[in-house]
């Protein structure tokens, strides 16, 4: 049985670097536009469409996304489709331990990778009206630094990342991606996909339990922060910048 990975376009370079299709005959990858992060309902609709197409062809399916809309894990569980561990794409690119270390050191970290750097105007500047200094203040007041995740296939994007950091009045840090954990998780899921997908894989079940505990802890931290007295329009813009910065955070 052939295997289809439904992946966010953010992971295109990572999968190219890992060369998984070359090592696993019958493995195909469908990349969905990263811009769908700004439209969670459309992302869910497109994922549903791609799942239908893959199953029509008799393919097994893996999903390569973080929690990119609020009910992502419930949705995948209902579909009997696993995904690699990680709440956000940035966590998958860095590895869980480095990501958690970054967040423990400074929860006010705004993450950048190649896709967001190259399309910052489309994803953030225009929809968030960041040309307005007041909007920049409202949207980024809880952030203190930018972390650019540099991947092996990236061109030299440090100058552009530095310009964005200056524009947002944030300190820039650069970290190299580490695909080792992502590769191990993908290989485990690929191996498991050879069995019929008639139940939720143990790997996904363990992950869901861990994610529930982490979400509860994050909820406590968020409760400690007070939101500024903003209108709903401005609050939605702030929620949008969080979705982009974290690979969607509800």
The residue extents of the domains of the chain are 3-87+179-217, 90-178
User: pLDDT digit string (tens) for 113-127?
Assistant: 999 999 999 999 999
Return the beta strands (E) in the chain as ranges.
3-8, 27-32, 60-64, 109-112, 145-150, 171-176
Q: Do 82 and 95 touch, CB atoms closer than 8 A?
A: no
pLDDT of residue 210: 52
Provide the pLDDT confidence category of residue 26 given band limits of 50, 70 and 90. Answer: confident
Structure tokens at 159: 């100058």
Q: Please state which CATH number belongs to domain 3-87+179-217.
A: 3.40.50
User: pLDDT digit string (tens) for 144-158?
Assistant: 999 999 999 999 999
Average pLDDT over residues 17-27: 85
Half-sphere exposure of 238 (CA within 13 A, CB side): 18
pTM, whole model, 2 decimals? 0.78
């Amino acid at each position: 049985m052939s295997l289809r990975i439904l992946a966010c376009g953010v992971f295109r370079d990572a999968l190219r670097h890992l060369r998984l299709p070359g090592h696993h005959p019958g493995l195909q990858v469908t990349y969905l536009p990263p811009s769908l992060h700004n439209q969670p309902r459309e992302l869910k609709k497109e994922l549903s469409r791609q799942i239908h197409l893959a199953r029509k062809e008799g393919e097994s399916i893996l999903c390569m996304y973080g929690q990119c809309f609020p009910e992502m894990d419930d949705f995948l569980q209902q579909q009997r489709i696993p995904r690699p561990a990680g709440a956000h794409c940035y966590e998958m690119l860095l590895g869980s331990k480095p990501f958690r270390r970054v967040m423990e050191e400074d929860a006010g970290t705004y993450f950048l990778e190649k896709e967001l750097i190259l399309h910052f105007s489309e994803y953030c500047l225009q929809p968030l009206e960041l040309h307005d200094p007041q909007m920049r203040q409202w949207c980024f007041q809880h952030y203190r630094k930018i972390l650019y995740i540099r991947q092996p296939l990236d061109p030299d994007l440090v100058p552009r990342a530095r310009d964005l950091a200056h524009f947002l009045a944030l300190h820039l840090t650069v970290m190299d991606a580490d695909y080792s954990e992502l590769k191990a998780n993908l290989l485990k899921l690929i191996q498991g996909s050879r069995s019929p997908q008639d139940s939720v894989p143990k790997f996904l079940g363990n992950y869901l339990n861990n994610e529930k505990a982490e979400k509860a802890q994050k909820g406590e931290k968020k409760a400690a922060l007070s939101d500024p007295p903003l209108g709903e329009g401005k609050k939605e813009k702030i929620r949008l910048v969080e979705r982009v910065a974290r690979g969607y955070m509800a």
